[in-house]
Amino acid sequence: DGGITQSPKYLFRKEGQNVTLSCEQNLNHDAMYWYRQDPGQGLRLIYYSQIVNDFQKGDIAEGYSVSREKKESFPLTVTSAQKNPTAFYLCASSIGRGIYGYTFGSGTRLTVV
């Protein structure tokens, strides 16, 4: 079955370390997205990519970086510059510009210890 796979489901990071969250899709979708979810704040867009080797900053890109070397993959790196990284991170993808909606992965919960 086609879908989006995020790994790991739970991730613990020490302060000052970078960590990379994986997102892979086999839906042949063009666009991919990273959202951060905090309690009571809904979803906030971190980065998105419409095509390979191109990506755009979202509303809260500071302290994060991404790459899009393959259509199927859109990893997110949470750097030590991100002041409050503990959150639930959701990856999504869409056909074209998302007119039919997004398909979401099951998320990665990152905790800084």
Partner 1 sequence: GNSVTQMEGPVTLSEEAFLTINCTYTATGYPSLFWYVQYPGEGLQLLLKATKADDKGSNKGFEATYRKETTSFHLEKGSVQVSDSAVYFCALRRTGNQFYFGTGTSLTVIP
- Which positions lie near partner 1, rule CB under 8 A? 4, 6, 31, 33, 40-43, 45, 48, 50, 58, 90, 92, 94, 97-107
At 49, list the tokens.
Answer: 């990519």
Going by C-alpha positions, the residue among 45, 71, 41, 74 that lies closest to residue 57 is 45
Smallest distance, Å, CB 99 to partner 1? 7
Going by C-alpha positions, the residue among 108, 105, 102 that lies closest to residue 91 is 105
Task: Indicate the residue among 63 and 98 with the shorter CB distance to partner 1.
Answer: 98
Q: Length of the chain, please?
A: 113
Task: Indicate the residue among 43 and 52 with the shorter CB distance to partner 1.
Answer: 43
Task: Indicate the residue among 48 and 74 with the shorter CB distance to partner 1.
Answer: 48
Smallest distance, Å, CB 42 to partner 1? 4
Task: Give the rounded distance of the alpha carbon of 72 from its chain centre.
Answer: 13
